[in-house]
């Protein structure tokens, strides 16, 4: 049986999609069969980050009842990594009902070693449905106090809802002199710090190329951190 892992945070722009893409590819390289799902229905961009822009069927079509999930699962150029893309046009967004996400995603569990769910930020209905499609959660925060406290709230709610909170990724560390240090962040978050991902221009460069950094620049500090995250996630099964 596979593991269903939601990637969540309190605020947008913390690096959820970046984490989802890089974790998926790193796990794939380790030999695991991975499915990455874009469950951020209003701001879908996981497929762009992974360099796919021509998918005919998306998670939106599945949630609108006009496609079956098996027809929205694509192989990618990344070893062992499959993808359920999202649609970017507003018509698709309007037709897709987020409440259908758990019913679509959970039954995929037997077919993959890891299902990585890229979620919207916050605790609104669309985010809750995406996050609750997983059984475990990885929180992603930046080293700023409002970002950490908002993400902590998401962790508390998900734990109450029965998800296993694996811990958090402290992303974009080192961008400012005022960054909250990892040990303080861990104390505030009250869940384990899984990895510190540094601010790394290679991560953004990779995003623009549609090739996540673990593949684009495997020796960069950013990539090394995401490989470390994958190893940690495997270990804490």
Residues forming contacts to ligand ADP in the complex (CB under 6 A) are: 9, 12-18, 171-172, 197, 199-200, 203-204, 207, 222
Return the exposure string of 6-20: e unless at least 16 CB atoms fall within 10 Å of the residue's CB, then b: bbbbbbeebbbbbbb
203 binds, options ligand ADP, Mg ion, none, Cβ within 5 to 8 A by partner type: ligand ADP
Closest CB to Mg ion among 186 and 225? 225
> What span, in angstroms and rounded, lies between the C-alpha atoms of 51 and 77?
9
Closest CB to Mg ion among 47 and 76? 47
9 sits near Mg ion (criterion: CB under 5 A): no
**Least distance (Å) from ligand ADP to the CB of residue 66?**
26
17 sits near Mg ion (criterion: CB under 5 A): yes
**Least distance (Å) from Mg ion to the CB of residue 68?**
25
Closest CB to Mg ion among 93 and 186? 93
113 binds, options Mg ion, ligand ADP, none, Cβ within 5 to 8 A by partner type: none
Closest CB to ligand ADP among 64 and 169? 169
In terms of Cα–Cα distance, which of 135, 171, 130, 116 is closest to 42?
130
């Amino acid at each position: 049986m596979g593991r269903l892992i939601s990637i969540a945070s309190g605020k947008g722009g913390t690096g959820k999609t970046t984490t989802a893409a890089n974790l998926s590819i790193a796990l794939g390289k380790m030999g695991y069969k991975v499915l990455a799902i874009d469950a951020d229905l209003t701001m879908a961009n996981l497929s762009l980050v992974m360099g796919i822009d021509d998918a005919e069927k998306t998670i939106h079509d599945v949630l609108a009842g006009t496609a079956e999930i098996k027809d929205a699962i694509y192989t990618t150029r990344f070893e062992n990594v499959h993808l359920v893309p999202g649609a970017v046009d507003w018509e698709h967004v309007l037709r897709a009902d987020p409440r259908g996400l758990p019913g679509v995603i959970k039954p995929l569990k037997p077919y993959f070693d890891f299902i990585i769910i890229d979620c919207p930020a916050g605790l609104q209905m669309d985010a809750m449905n995406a996050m609750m499609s997983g059984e475990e959660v990885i929180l992603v925060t930046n080293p700023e106090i409002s970002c950490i406290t908002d993400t902590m709230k998401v962790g508390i709610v998900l734990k109450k809802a029965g998800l296993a909170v694996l811990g958090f990724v402290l992303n974009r560390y080192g961008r400012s002199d005022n960054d909250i240090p990892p040990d303080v962040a861990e104390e505030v978050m009250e869940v384990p710090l899984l990895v510190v991902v540094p601010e790394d221009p290679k991560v953004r460069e990779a995003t623009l190329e549609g090739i996540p950094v673990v593949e684009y620049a495997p020796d960069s500090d950013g990539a090394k951190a995401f490989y470390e995250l994958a190893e940690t996630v495997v270990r804490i099964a």
